[in-house]
């Protein structure tokens, strides 16, 4: 049975409203504890241990915090690359070496200062932390609806991980045939290797 694209879009819009509300209503001390659990589990990943570059979003208040992960990656001798949004829902990643390399950018997100940072040319490897309001058991995500990461992941050759609060995980989310599932999901309660991971 075929699924109407507009129906999927409407379902995703309703889900986004629900998950944003759930996250905004989360008490600060609960969020801090859950962030800490997610960060600790992330740093134990085999994929993290073997990568030389961590591609990551710079978190907003409503998202799983990535600032501690960025600092840990530097302390572990890894390169850190963060995105800068450009035209047509595309983005480039730039290496940052300190938080001073960031400035206010699109959608209230901190982005790299182009004049201070080197653009990433090799997208064939590394570990990318993919943002999402929710992930499902297969690794598909509910993003923010802008399409930036969908386009980036279509050309990224490394491994991917989704960070998510356990109370925002769903068994199954609607997705299109071009959506790419993440290889690993890390929550405050568990690590899940998804079916998309194959033999990596």
Q: What is the DSSP letter of 107?
A: G
* Dist. CA 54–CA 39, nearest whole Å: 13
CATH of 5-197, one of 3.40.50.300, 3.40.50.10420, 3.90.950.20, 3.90.1150.10: 3.40.50.10420
pLDDT at residue 200 in the model: 40
Other beta carbons within 10 angstroms of residue 99's beta carbon come to 11
pLDDT of 101 > 70? The answer is yes
Note the pTM of the prediction, 2 decimals.
Answer: 0.90
Q: pLDDT tens-digit profile of 56-77?
A: 999 999 999 999 999 999 999 9
pLDDT at residue 58 in the model: 97
Other beta carbons within 10 angstroms of residue 111's beta carbon come to 22
Give the domain ranges of the chain: 5-197
| CB proximity list for 184: less than 8 A, separation 6 or greater | 45, 47, 139, 159, 160, 161, 162, 191, 192, 193, 194, 197
Residue 130, H or E segment: strand 127-130
* Dist. CA 83–CA 199, nearest whole Å: 28
pLDDT at residue 173 in the model: 92
Question: Rounded mean pLDDT of 92-106?
Answer: 95
pLDDT cut 70: percent of the chain above it: 94
Q: pLDDT tens-digit profile of 36-54?
A: 999 999 999 999 999 999 9
Q: pLDDT tens-digit profile of 153-164?
A: 999 999 999 999
pLDDT of 4 > 70? The answer is no
Question: Rounded mean pLDDT of 84-103?
Answer: 93
Q: pLDDT tens-digit profile of 130-153?
A: 999 999 999 999 988 778 898 999
The pLDDT-based confidence of 24 (bands split at 50, 70, 90) is confident
Report DSSP letters for 53-68, one per residue.
Answer: EEEE----TTSPP-HH
18 three-class SS: helix
Cα–Cα distance list, 134 to 154, 166, 174 (Å) = 20, 9, 11
Q: pLDDT tens-digit profile of 152-196?
A: 999 999 999 999 999 999 999 988 777 889 999 999 999 999 976
């Amino acid at each position: 049975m075929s699924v109407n694209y507009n129906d999927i879009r409407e379902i995703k819009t309703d889900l986004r409203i629900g998950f944003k509300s759930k996250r905004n209503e989360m008490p600060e001390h609960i969020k801090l504890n859950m962030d800490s659990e997610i960060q600790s589990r992330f740093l134990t990943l085999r994929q993290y241990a073997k990568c030389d570059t961590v591609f990551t979003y710079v978190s907003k208040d409503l998202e799983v915090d990535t600032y501690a992960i960025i600092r840990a990656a530097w302390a572990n001798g890894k390169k850190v690359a963060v995105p800068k949004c450009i035209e047509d829902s595309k983005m480039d990643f730039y290496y940052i070496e300190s938080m001073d390399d960031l400035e206010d950018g699109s959608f209230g997100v901190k982005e790299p200062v182009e004049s201070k940072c080197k653009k990433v040319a090799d997208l064939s490897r590394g570990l990318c932390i993919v943002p999402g309001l929710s992930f499902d058991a297969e690794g598909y995500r509910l993003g923010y609806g802008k399409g930036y990461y969908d386009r980036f992941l279509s050309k990224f050759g490394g491994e991917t991980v989704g960070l998510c609060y356990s109370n925002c995980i769903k068994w199954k989310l609607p997705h299109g045939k071009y959506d790419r599932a993440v290889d690993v999901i890390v929550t405050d309660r568990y690590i899940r290797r998804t079916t998309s991971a194959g033999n990596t």
